[in-house]
Amino acid sequence: MNLGNFKTGLLSVLISIAVTVLGGLILYYFQNKKPKIQYSVEKILPFESQTEKLNIYHITIENNGNEVAEDVVCKIDINPASIKEYRTNSESPISIKDSILKKEIDVKTSTLNPEENYRVSILASSKSNFPNKPIVKVRAKGVIGEEIKNVSNNDSFGSLLLNNKDLILYATIASILTLLVRRKIIKDDEDNEKHLGDQNEIIAYLCGINDLNNQIERYLTLPNKTSYWSEMDRLTAIAISSNDVQLTNNTIALIENLIVYANMAKSSIGIGEFNLAKLYKKLNDEAKFNEKLNLAKEKMPKLIETRMKVDPFFTNN
């Protein structure tokens, strides 16, 4: 297995996982962009006087979603106890309307922004028992309120995983499939029809079989990786300026073999065909020149047209 391909494959897998998870989170956020009305109840230890028993309840209603909640209605019942006094308050400037109807506290607000909340405090009295907690019913436009459960950090994490199970499942499947595909590519790399590997080494190999031995050491000792298209440009320029027919033919053979043998991008193939057209033009082979130039234009028509405009080989001939 080629170490460079392994690193490339691993990097591709990591990028794919990151993109999948991030994309999933973004998609999940927008798909679940809605208000989430929740409430919590706090009960104070009861106080008993000679004439009656008293207790205090605090009910907090909040929007834990990511969109404004509209027409929020909350009804609170503390039966069998009685409501002695109550009040509503909020740290935010929320318009709250409250009333008592049939021994229920009825609280309404037209809007509740994300992370906003208000509290209803009730002083309850009873000659017998108090409910463990009030009966609270909350709703908003298109939303039913739910109680916030007191859970540990571990339970909260588990709940988060459960609520996002579809996202996690999709991300896991996508990551596994990406890993399997990359492993398959790397595994089959040495037996692939096109050689996918270190470009310096591939060009060095083709230089050796096309009588360009003076270039082999350069490619094997270059400190940085080169690119197919830039090296085809460089070798073509050397051949044309040399006026050496044999060197030109050897360069043609190398580029022809490189296009057939190496796994390269479409743009690099187009540039390769363009360089072949120049080399055949240098040899006055008009038929081959036109053939290769047309192949180059088929691959990258706009780029080839631009190259012909700026390349002195064409502008001066």
Domain borders along the chain are 3-32+155-190, 37-148, 198-315
Can you name the CATH fold of 198-315?
A: 1.25.40
Does the structure show a pLDDT above 60 at 121?
Answer: yes
The torsion angle over the Cα atoms of residues 172, 176, 182 and 185, rounded to 10 degrees, is -150
User: What is the 8-class DSSP label of residue 137?
Assistant: E
How far is residue 204's CA from residue 213's CA, in Å, rounded to a whole number? 8
37-148 and 198-315 in the same fold: no
Q: Which residues contact 128 (CB under 8 A, 6 or more apart)?
A: 53, 80
What are the tens digits of pLDDT across the range 123-175?
A: 888 877 888 889 999 999 989 999 987 644 444 445 444 455 555 566 666 66
What are the tens digits of pLDDT across the range 61-75?
A: 999 888 999 999 999
CATH class of the 37-148 domain in this structure? mainly beta
Q: Structure pTM? A: 0.45
Instruction: Extract the tokens encoding 97.
Output: 């309307």
